[in-house]
């Protein structure tokens, strides 16, 4: 029965991807009016786009929607930028942040209108973006000319979505007990360990993280970390790894897939689900949270209010510790799109270019650790302005608050970075397997 189920899921995945590709507005199909504007906008500089935005939206209202509330902070800076060209320019705006993953429903409903309400979106969860938003033609990708040049390419040659930033969720642990340490990513799934983690049904990027562990390059990271364990630890994990060998083969994973499935199985059956990363951080920094750990957004340490019992000094970043093996967390992106029925497409393109091509435009996000601009020039300027590597963006500078930066996390910290196409390709197979694990079986 299990083999039959996997075969059916694989067939459904193929049919789904074929159907999605057939619904794409790209390729030889006729471009929408917004896509025609995007094609022209991709040949223009930020200043040229600014002039177009002024002509289009002066005195009007701009509606944006996003998973991050900071679009509301970026828009006034964008307006000031446009006013540097035309002091009489005005723009009213409203920024919405739907909760509980409702952004997809909201954008889908808005797409049914001939002219939508929302001009653009800042959105996360590559899997659902791919299947529900892009392949259905609801959202259009705009690649700013100068952003592409900063990344050594052109808008036409660039493949993929436009990311505003990469964010990381990392393993942090309470260090009040100096004898309690984590030196290997397998330590987090040992018997008796119960990490604090946003439930994967509440925040889908957490599920994408688990999907990504099965990708060959990350499954290899898990295998190599496993091989660094002592003999006693290997003996504890070996039965689970062995049991996953056939499961991995049935799911079409490579030879190291069994290590990924073993880690995933142990993780989903041990973590303590929390509704938000804020409470996880607040728990870990308290001196009473002895021997607890969590997997949470790095930037949450910025908001810790120091007291006699609460301090960022009470936590450590696992991957920063000498000799740590395996992945130190996972990364996901905030992507920028223009809606295909945007009421203000030129202004949307200009705003997107402003956020991705200038330090001021990115500053609403760049002021904190744990978020890295997709533009290397903006990333460098952001670091120079906010000095994250010295801990100056935090009230209390410790090793924990000294962000080692994008390149360190991706290379040395072995951050598991979300790949929307891969997540979409295994959502039916690996995704359904995850849901069949003990934690998700019906009572």
* Domains of the chain, earliest start first: 30-165+332-390 (3.40.190.10), 167-331+398-440 (3.40.190.10)
> What integer pLDDT is reported at residue 63 of this predicted model?
98
The predicted structure's pLDDT at residue 19: 30
Residues in contact with 249: Cβ distance below 8 Å, sequence separation at least 6, in sequence order: 257
Distance CA(326)–CA(280), nearest Å, equals 22
Residue 78's SS3 state is helix
According to the model, what pLDDT value does residue 440 have?
Answer: 55
- CA distances to 29, 53, 74, 357 from 360, rounded to whole Å, are 38, 18, 8, 9
Tokens of 140: 């259009």
Tell me the β-bridge partners of 371: 167
Q: Hey, how many other C-beta atoms are within 10 angstroms of the C-beta on 42?
A: 21
52: Cα within 13 Å, side-chain hemisphere: 21
CA distance 392 to 389: 8
224 phi, psi to nearest 5 deg: -65, -35
Q: The tokens 């159907």 sit on which residue?
A: 19
What does the alpha-carbon distance between residue 188 and residue 193 come to, in Å, rounded to a whole number?
A: 6
Residue 439 confidence (pLDDT): 62
Amino acid 203: pLDDT: 83
What separation in angstroms does the CA of 289 have from each of 177, 197, 275, 294?
A: 10, 15, 18, 11
How far apart (Å, rounded) are the C-alpha atoms in residues 332 and 206?
9
CB 351 within 8 A of CB 44: no
CA atoms within 13 A on the CB side of 144: 30
Question: pLDDT value at position 200?
Answer: 85
Residues of the chain with confidence (pLDDT) below 70: 1-29, 438-443
Residue 382 three-state SS: helix
Written as six digits, the tokens of 236 are 């504890």
In 280-378 the beta strands, taken as DSSP E runs, fall at: 293-297, 315-317, 329-339, 371-373
Q: Which residue has tokens 């991957």?
A: 319
Q: Which of 339, 272, 249, 329 is nearest to 296 (CA)?
A: 329
Q: Report the 10 Å Cβ neighbour count for 265.
A: 21
Q: How far apart are CA 38 and CA 40, in angstroms?
A: 5
Residue for token digits 């930037």? 299
Give the side-chain half-sphere CA count within 13 A for 340. Answer: 19
Structure tokens at 369: 């650790």
> Alpha-carbon distance 357 to 360, whole Å?
9
Q: Provide the pLDDT for residue 23.
A: 31
With a CB cutoff of 8 Å and minimum separation 6, the contacts of 419 are 126, 212, 215
Q: pTM for this one?
A: 0.87
């Amino acid at each position: 029965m299990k083999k039959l189920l996997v075969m059916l899921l694989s067939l459904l995945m193929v049919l789904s991807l074929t159907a999605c590709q057939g619904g794409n507005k790209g390729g030889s199909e006729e471009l929408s009016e917004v896509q025609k504007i995007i094609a022209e906008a991709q040949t223009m500089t930020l200043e040229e786009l600014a002039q177009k935005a002024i002509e289009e939206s002066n005195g009007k209202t701009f509606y944006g929607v996003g998973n991050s509330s900071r679009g509301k902070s970026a828009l006034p800076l964008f307006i000031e930028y446009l006013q540097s060209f035309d002091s009489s320019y005005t723009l009213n705006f409203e920024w919405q942040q739907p909760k509980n993953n409702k952004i997809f429903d909201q954008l889908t409903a808005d797409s049914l209108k001939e002219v939508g309400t929302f001009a653009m979106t800042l959105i996360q969860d590559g899997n659902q973006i791919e299947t529900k938003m892009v392949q259905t033609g609801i959202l259009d990708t705009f690649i700013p000319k100068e952003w592409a040049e900063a990344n050594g390419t052109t808008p036409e040659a660039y493949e993929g979505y436009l990311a505003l930033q990469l964010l990381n969720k990392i393993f942090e642990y309470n260090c009040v007990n100096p004898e309690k340490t984590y030196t290997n990513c397998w330590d987090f799934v040992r018997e008796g360990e119960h990490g604090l983690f946003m439930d994967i049904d509440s925040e889908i990027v957490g599920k994408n993280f688990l999907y990504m562990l099965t990708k060959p390059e990350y499954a290899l990271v898990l295998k190599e970390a496993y091989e660094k364990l002592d003999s006693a630890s290997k003996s504890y994990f070996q039965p689970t790894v062995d049991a996953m060998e056939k499961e991995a083969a049935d799911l079409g994973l490579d030879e190291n897939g069994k290590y990924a499935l073993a880690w995933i199985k142990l993780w989903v059956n041990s973590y303590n689900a929390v509704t938000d990363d804020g409470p996880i951080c607040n728990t870990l920094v308290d001196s009473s949270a002895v021997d607890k750990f969590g997997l949470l957004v790095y930037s949450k340490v910025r908001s810790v209010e120091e007291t006699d019992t609460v301090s960022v000094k009470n936590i450590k970043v696992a991957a920063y510790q000498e000799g740590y093996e395996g992945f130190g967390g996972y990364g996901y992106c905030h992507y920028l799109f223009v809606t295909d029925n945007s009421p203000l497409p030129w202004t949307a393109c200009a705003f997107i270019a402003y956020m991705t091509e200038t330090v001021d435009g990115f500053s609403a996000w760049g002021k904190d650790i744990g978020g890295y601009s997709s533009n290397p020039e903006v990333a460098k300027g952001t670091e120079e302005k906010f000095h994250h590597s010295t801990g100056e963006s935090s009230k209390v500078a410790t090793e924990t608050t000294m962000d080692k930066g994008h390149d360190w996390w991706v290379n040395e910290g072995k951050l598991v970075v979300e790949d929307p196409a891969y997540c979409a390709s295994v959502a039916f197979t690996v995704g359904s397997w995850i849901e069949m694990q003990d934690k998700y079986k019906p009572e």
